[in-house]
Amino acid sequence: MSGTEVISRPSFQGSPNMSDQRKETYRHALSATSVRPGLDGTPYLYTLNLSCRQDMWSDLEPLFQQSIDSFDMLATTDRYIPPDKVCLFLTRDR
């Protein structure tokens, strides 16, 4: 994993949504976070978060787990740009 560590954990939370406003509506989630040092040693966190409604969990859990298990960071190269050096250009339609 190129010197990175992946930490994953499941979560289960109440989450009313547009199709069901009851407080008893729940979501399941799996997430993985990897720590990668930048070029100057500053640690950056990269997170993959997957979630779905409770009624979809039995179908999606295997795919979510496979995705979490395969979450990996590639080794940095001379083309690596750390997050604090990325320029985001936002445009607005007028």
pLDDT tens for 53-76 read: 888 999 999 999 999 999 888 888
Domain definitions of the chain by residue range:
5-85
Give this prediction's pTM: 0.66
pLDDT digits (tens, 9 = 90+) for 5-25: 455 555 656 666 666 666 667
Residue 27 phi, psi dihedral angles, 5° rounding: -120, 150
* pLDDT tens-digit readout, 20-31: 666 667 888 888
Write down the CATH number for the domain with range 5-85: 3.10.450
